[in-house]
Chains A and B, each alone.
Chain A
Amino acid sequence: MTGVRVLVGTSKGAFVLTSDGRRKQWEVSGPHFGGWEIYHLKGSPADPDRVYASQSSSWSGQVVQRSDDGGRTWHPVGNKFSYEGTPGTHQWYDGTPHPWEFARVWHLEPSLTDPDTVYAGAEDAALFRSDDGGDTWQELPGLREHRTGPSWQPGAGGMCLHTIVLDRSDPGRMFTAISAAGAFRSDDAGVTWRPVNHGLQSEGIPDPDAEVGHCVHRIAMHPSRPDVLFMQKHWDVMRSDDAGESWREISGNLPSDFGFPIDVHAHEPDTVYVVPIKSDAEHYPPEGKLRVYRSRTGGDEWEALTEGLPQRDCYHNVLRDAMAVDSLDECGVYFGTTGGQVYASADAGDSWAPIVCDLPRVLSVEAQTLP
């Protein structure tokens, strides 16, 4: 392992941050696609030089960019995201039927084994797949056409499919999460899907056994233990030990169980990271203190990680896709804020330092461990 590349999507372009294995000195490249919203960019686990980026704007719609040299140069690939068949309706905010309309790609998830295969999570919620490096996209309609689809409602950010989790041990299994429909699992490579939300309790849903309607913010898995999932929900941090069949709350002693990102240590499957946010109405850290919380026990018991992070007057948010880990021997942890800072820890969260302080609003952070 020689180094790390951190891919940062912001509201005004993409940035590529690179360092050697010590992760003390960083080279900053960007902005790429200046002026455009970069919801997400992510490298292929099978080929770190292959990177995909979702570029969009309210004016000019969706563009997908691909790099074959680790983010140094880019070229646009296909951007036609067409729903299969005649899309029906989902529910609008007021409960009325609303036609499915493509807005943007929130998340790109490259295949674990094939650099040319990549999944895209879209708003309005749908899952697309490309097998030709992003040149063409086909919907996997079984998710959107699930019998519960007409009852899905958007969250405040839109009805977005924002999380795609692949299982290294089972090529057929994948998880997605949709705000505000919930978590879904496929066991046949995305052809058919079922909700996996049993045990989620959501304020505003009177039925404690509601099959859908949960505002899942993020799901994380350690590749060595694919049946264990960690979830940051709108409120509540949750854990499943049976691949989503059931969930239990692990918020424990967190100062707030509201938040967006959640991630797992690269080498310790029971070490989990979250960033508590005060509330859904106050999207900033409690007490103005930016604290990452780490559990080394798979949840319930959490410790505040504060060294190097602002402990007064900090009122930024950390968005759902804006935290990542590398897989160097001493696990690195990274996150970006809506205030434009990207923080790095080269010691699994014990201490932090900013890589950059004044970027646009950070929408996503991904880390690539370079060979």
Chain B
Amino acid sequence: MIRVVLPAHLRTLARVDGEVQLSCPNPVTQRTVLDALEARYPVLRGTIRDQVTGQRRAFMRFFGCEEDLSHTSPDDPLPGPVAAGAEPYLIVGAMSGG
């Protein structure tokens, strides 16, 4: 199972507490994880990546195993510990607002 941590606003919107656990087909990539996340929680469609272009929203960031994955290809395999569920995949709202 893939572990996904959402920012607080999106946890509220999706009505979840804590981490989300998802089953995800191989290869485990950012795209397949986000596809699985949006399939489980349709309300998150458009809030993390644009619904039309599929691009990451500008102020959302993706992390795993202390790496910033925001600028890597969405089709690259995620780090092994994330794919194995040992480490969470972090979706983070960029710090802004003073």
Contacts and interface: CB of A to CB of B under 8 A. Distances in A.
Contact of B9 (A60, A62, A82, A102): A60
Contacts of A102: 52
B3 to A, nearest CB: 21
B84 interface: no
Given A36-B9, A76-B13, A60 B51 contact: no
A360 to B, nearest CB: 13
B60 A59 contact: yes
Contacts of B10: 60
Contacts of A76: 13, 43
Contact of B43 (A35, A63, A82): A63
Interface residues of A, number: 15
B52 A60 contact: no
A260 B51 CA distance: 33
A59 B93 CA distance: 6
A112 B10 CA distance: 33
A61 B9 contact: no
B40 interface: no
B58 to A, nearest CB: 8
B44 to A, nearest CB: 9
A79 interface: yes
B41 to A, nearest CB: 10
Interface string A51-62: 000000111111
B6 to A, nearest CB: 10
A80 interface: yes
Interface in A106-148: none
B94 interface: yes
Nearest to B92: A59
Interface residues of B, number: 21
Which of A60, A63, A76, A80 is packed against the most chain B CB atoms within 10 Å?
A60
Contacts, number: 47
A79 B9 CA distance: 16
**Which of B8, B10, B43, B96 has the most chain A CB atoms closer than 10 A to its own CB?**
B43
Contact of A57 (B9, B45, B51): B9
A80 B46 contact: yes
B96 to A, nearest CB: 7
Interface in B9-49: 9-10, 12-13, 43, 45-48
A101 to B, nearest CB: 10
A61 B50 contact: yes
A59 B9 contact: yes
A35 B9 contact: yes
Given A59-B7, A59-B93, A61-B46, A80 B57 contact: no
Nearest to A79: B46
A63 B47 contact: yes
Nearest to A102: B52
28 contacts: A34-B12, A57-B9, A58-B58, A58-B59, A59-B9, A59-B57, A59-B59, A59-B93, A59-B94, A59-B96, A60-B9, A60-B10, A60-B13, A60-B47, A60-B48, A60-B57, A60-B60, A60-B93, A62-B46, A63-B13, A63-B47, A76-B13, A79-B46, A79-B51, A80-B46, A80-B51, A80-B52, A82-B52
Given A59-B59, A60-B47, A63-B46, 8 more contacts: A58-B58, A59-B9, A59-B57, A59-B60, A59-B96, A60-B7, A60-B93, A63-B13
